[in-house]
Structure 1
């Protein structure tokens, strides 16, 4: 009887978790689509405002509008996918769009000032990309460490179950498997 009751509880918990996960995914997808639409709308508005400028000021305005759109869509995609790779890709895309803005602003300068400006923009871009790559590696290392700890704790729990017999042991093993996702 205890085995059947434990199995029913585990199945009910799993179904509840699956339902919550599905609901969150649908909500995330709606949020993602809304962010994309918002970014497109805001870009159009900002782009229209740029028409009142001329020459390099207009280029800067357009590039800034594109960068804002890139930031919004990249962050929304990273949140929607919720993976280290997606977050790193978003950071890289944002860094590249900010680099484009900085380069466009450098066009107002001439000679060595322009060269220095471009080098500073490139250095900031390389730095931001390196940070994104490092963040991705840190997250991966933490995930690996968490999984290793969980595996070790699962082995301890199973070892404790070996001291039991019969239905008690089966219940203990089922509990350990449910607790550690095995």
Structure 2
């Protein structure tokens, strides 16, 4: 996980913890306006950059806005639906930014970068799904077990694809050994 994504996640978690009281409609409107102003300012700063750096900057600005709006919804109404929406927004935003950062690379290195980003995205989404099941008062223990199994299967598949992509950079026997090892490690 890139440093920006880690910082982003820590800030998001800190803001969620600080949301002890619901907002009034007026407070929510003011916060939306502040978020919008921050987005416009951040996007304006991106104009000084060129190429992919500008694209990444703009995605980070837009992602910060999306996450801030999802946090605002959660702060205004702290329910499981808004918590799940926030977690999904954070995962999707981090994934979009990571994919865009891969565009600076070429060849297999770019492909590996994208598979790693996809694997991180799958993991984040599965964690959010498991939390949703765990916090559902109507969920049975078997529901949580099924969610864990599903998350494990999807995460293992995404990790396998990322490792397999790394194997593609190799040739001959080394590639065959790498692919065989990946299949064995990830049960493919």
TM bracket, shorter-chain basis: 0.5 to 0.7
User: Which protein shows a greater Rg?
Assistant: 1
Distance 2:26 2:46 in 1: 30
Paired positions, count: 121
Select the residue among 78, 85, 93 that pairs with 2:81.
Answer: 85
* 2:40 maps to 1:44: yes
Residue 132 of structure 1 is matched in structure 2 by 128
Residue 67 of structure 2 is matched in structure 1 by 71
* 2:136 maps to 1:106: no
Asked if structure 1 preserves the Cα contact closer than 8 Å seen for 2:133 and 2:139, the reply is no
Q: Which runs of 5+ in 1 are unaligned?
A: 1-23, 145-182
Distance 1:109 1:98 in 2: 18
Name the SS for the 1:140 alignment partner: coil
**Map 1:19-34 → 2, pairs under 5 A:** 27-34=23-30
Asked if structure 2 preserves the Cα contact closer than 8 Å seen for 1:79 and 1:87, the reply is no
Name the SS for the 2:105 alignment partner: coil
Higher relative CO (CA 8 A, sep ≥ 6), structure 1 or 2?
A: 1
Residue 139 of structure 1 deviates from its aligned partner by: 1.2
Residue 34 of structure 1 deviates from its aligned partner by: 2.6
Distance 1:34 1:142 in 2: 36
1:28–1:119: structure 2 CA closer, same or farther, 3 Å change rule?
farther
Residue 130 of structure 1 deviates from its aligned partner by: 0.9
Residue 28 of structure 1 deviates from its aligned partner by: 3.7
Distance 2:26 2:122 in 1: 33
Q: Cα RMSD between the aligned structures?
A: 2.2
The normalised TM-score by structure 1 is: 0.61
Asked if structure 2 preserves the Cα contact closer than 8 Å seen for 1:95 and 1:129, the reply is yes
Asked if structure 1 preserves the Cα contact closer than 8 Å seen for 2:59 and 2:97, the reply is yes
- Deviation string 1:122-175 (CA, Å, 9 cap, x unpaired) is 11111111111111111114899xxxxxxxxxxxxxxxxxxxxxxxxxxxxxxx
Distance 1:85 1:115 in 2: 34
